Amino acid sequence: MEHIVIIGNGISGVTVARHIRKLSDKKITIVSAETDYFFSRTALMYIYMGHMKFEHTQPYENWFWDKNRIGLKKGYVKTIDTKSKTLHFAEGDTLEYDKLIIATGSKPNKFGWPGQDLDGAQGLYSKQDLDTLERNAPSNKVCKRAVIVGGGLIGIELAEMLNSRSIPVTFLVREDSFWNGVLPEGESAMINRHIKNHHIDLRLGVNLKEIKADDTGKVKSIIVAETGEEIDCTVVGLTAGVSPNITFLKDSGIETNRGVLVNRHLETNIKDIFAIGDCAEQREAIGQRRPIEAVWYTGRMMGEALAQTICDNPTEYKPGHWFNSAKFLDIEYQTYGWVFSKPRENETHFHWIHEDDTKCITVCYDTKDKTFLGINTFGIRMRHEVFDRWLTEKRDVDYVMNHLNEANFDPEFYKHFEREILATYNNKLQTA
């Protein structure tokens, strides 16, 4: 019986395993050094905040794996011998495979800041990172102040987490507005204000120079590069993005760049070895997508596609229309299609913001033929299915604006804003 070994028990690895099981009787083993069972990484923050316990972040009960004959092996893969098709573990044992799927995810970026490895400086990615945070910042008595470096999705989650325990937070963001490499100006500015409303000390346009230690080697303060200001703190969150977690592949002969290089069938340069999820890097661009997409949904989609290939139905990874979501403190964000931070050539943005400063949308469309290209929505839930259909049908922006209520996904009795949005839209057209 063919033995499929998957390194990594995140959403990508688990999705591919589940689908292989549905399609075949192959022997499946998932290897992980992080946890015994699959958990939802995106939910780690809720454990620290006390909304859930760790076991609640596990989407499947523990009997699920036995019942579905998916073997789980706890161990850290040190090296891969691709000739003999063998994994060598740090613990000393080995495991042979017929087909290998690398789904090892990411690790937090560190940019060589002085003091970045001190006790108290940490990223937030793994279960271990969460345990470290619980030790470093159990309460505002132990942690008088935390500094977060890096204004992305993990940074703002970490800020929300610390805020939930009344730990004062200083949030250093390199850009001059939060996440404005991704978000258009109006949205980014709204989130800036929302962060400040939560009494988080948001510092825009500043970088970390160094992290200083006290006598015991623990974090004591940080220095801001631009101003030279010293900020006392006991925890430093390093959340300046993530990169593929693939250092263990260095001498394996598997071709890598920033990530593991794969073709559209998610195959690496070595036969019978595949890579999916955060750690995979596409050799050829897929539409306007980045070669590495460290996103829950794309990891899952790669798993769905690869299972077909493994089970003798060679299938390209062909993701559909781009979509994503996040939550910035109390404001939910969804995006469908492409809305870049600045309109690109032949693109126009329409922006509407509600007077309460917690809801806004940005619609991107083709300036010439008015084709709807994408929407960002904050504080208003929208239907994935509807926008996916409109994008496929290449609807024009007028159609979308006039039918926006069909896409509304807010709970019942919520106030609707479609009329106000449409009025603003029509108004702008006349003045434009």
Partner 1 sequence: MSNKLNHSMSLAKPDALGISRKQKIALAIGIVGLFILALALFNTNFPNKALFLSLSLGLITAGTVIYSREAYLTKLEGIKNDGAWFKSISSRGAWGWIVGVVLTTFYIVLYFYPTLLGLGKDGAANTGLISLFDPLSNLLSGRPASQWFVYGTLYTVAIFAFGYKFILKYRHNRYEQIRTVSVMFFQLAFAFLIPEFMYRMNSNLPYYDLKSVWPLNYYIFDEWSVKGFLSNGNIGLALIIFGIVSIFVITPILTYKYGKRWYCSWVCGCGGLAETAGDSFRHLSSKKMSAWKLERWLIHVVLVFSVVMTVAMVYTYLGYDSNDFWLTKGVFIGLVIGFLTLVFAVIMYFKRSELGKDAKYGAIGFFATIALLMGMHFTGTTEEVFFIKGSALRSAYGLYIGSIFSGVIGTGFYPILGSRAWCRFGCPMAAILGFQQRMFSKFRITTNGGQCISCGNCSNSCEMGIDVRAYAQKGENIVRSSCVGCGICSAVCPRGVLKLENDSMEGRINPTEVLLGNDVDLMKLVNKQ
Binding site for partner 1 (CB under 8 A): 11, 19, 22, 40, 42-43, 46-59, 61, 130-131, 134-135, 138-139, 164-166, 197-198, 296-297, 300-301, 304-305, 308, 315-321, 323, 325-327, 329-330, 332, 334, 381-385, 388, 409-415
Nearer to partner 1, 32 or 334 (CB): 334
Identify the CA nearest to 204 among candidates 231, 238, 236, 170: 170
The enclosing H or E element of 162 equals helix 153-164
Measure the N-to-C terminal CA separation of the chain; round to a whole number of Å: 67
Nearer to partner 1, 15 or 256 (CB): 15
CB of 244 to partner 1, least distance (A): 20
386 and 407 Cβ atoms separated by less than 8 Å: yes
Nearer to partner 1, 153 or 401 (CB): 153
Nearer to partner 1, 109 or 325 (CB): 325
- Give the position of tokens 């801001």: 224
CB of 421 to partner 1, least distance (A): 17
291 and 281 Cβ atoms separated by less than 8 Å: yes
CB of 42 to partner 1, least distance (A): 4
Residue 270: phi, psi to the nearest 5?
Answer: -105, 130
Nearer to partner 1, 217 or 320 (CB): 320
CB of 389 to partner 1, least distance (A): 10
Nearer to partner 1, 115 or 120 (CB): 120
16 and 103 Cβ atoms separated by less than 8 Å: yes
Residue 234: phi, psi to the nearest 5?
Answer: -115, -10
Nearer to partner 1, 123 or 379 (CB): 379
CB of 413 to partner 1, least distance (A): 4
CB of 429 to partner 1, least distance (A): 29
| Radius of gyration of the chain measured on its C-alpha atoms | 23
Distance of CA 32 to the CA centre of its chain: 20
CB of 333 to partner 1, least distance (A): 9
Residue 119's Cβ-count burial label (10 Å; 0-12, 13-18, 19+) is middle
SS3 136: helix
- Give the position of tokens 């000739």: 83
